[in-house]
């Protein structure tokens, strides 16, 4: 799976949109971009994933650039409960399908 690069930390004001960037310049054609988050003392929680097209669900939106070398996770109206470590993972189902986590971005939502 391709390596991803994320900022170490970000702050966001409560009620504002949180935009979390991720670079995955070596992503291959069959690899999806997955986003998970991990709230303190909990297991990672699946948020969203996409291949080429932008995706939206009840939790977030995922914007993938046309060249697929980067993406942005958007939490439209961040709340204090969105404070967590956010992991961007480029993942194909080759081999065993194991996920390779990096350090992630620690998002701090402030009142």
The full length of the chain comes to 111
Q: Is 104 in the site for other proteins (CB under 8 A)?
A: yes
| Closest approach of other proteins to the CB of residue 17, in Å | 24
Q: Is 103 in the site for other proteins (CB under 8 A)?
A: yes
H/E run at residue 2: none
| Closest approach of other proteins to the CB of residue 9, in Å | 13
Interacting positions 64-93 with other proteins (CB under 8 A): 85, 87, 93
Q: What are phi and psi of 22, to 5 degrees?
A: -150, 130
Signed CA dihedral, 67, 69, 75, 76: sign only: negative
Question: By CB under 8 A, how many residues form the interface with other proteins?
Answer: 21
28: CB partners within 8 A, 6+ apart: 2, 92
Q: Is 7 in the site for other proteins (CB under 8 A)?
A: no
Chain residues binding other proteins by CB under 8 A are: 34, 36, 42-46, 49, 85, 87, 93, 95-104
């Amino acid at each position: 799976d391709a390596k991803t690069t994320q900022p170490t930390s970000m702050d966001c004001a409560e009620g504002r949109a949180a935009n979390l960037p991720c670079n995955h310049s070596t992503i291959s054609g069959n690899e999806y971009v997955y986003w998970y988050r991990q709230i303190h003392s909990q297991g990672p929680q699946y948020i969203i994933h996409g291949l080429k097209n932008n995706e939206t669900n009840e939790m977030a939106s995922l914007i993938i650039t046309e060249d697929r070398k980067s993406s942005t996770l958007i939490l439209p109206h961040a709340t204090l409960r969105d404070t967590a470590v956010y992991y961007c993972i480029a993942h194909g189902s080759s081999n065993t399908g194991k996920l390779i986590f990096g350090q992630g971005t620690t998002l701090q939502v402030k009142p």
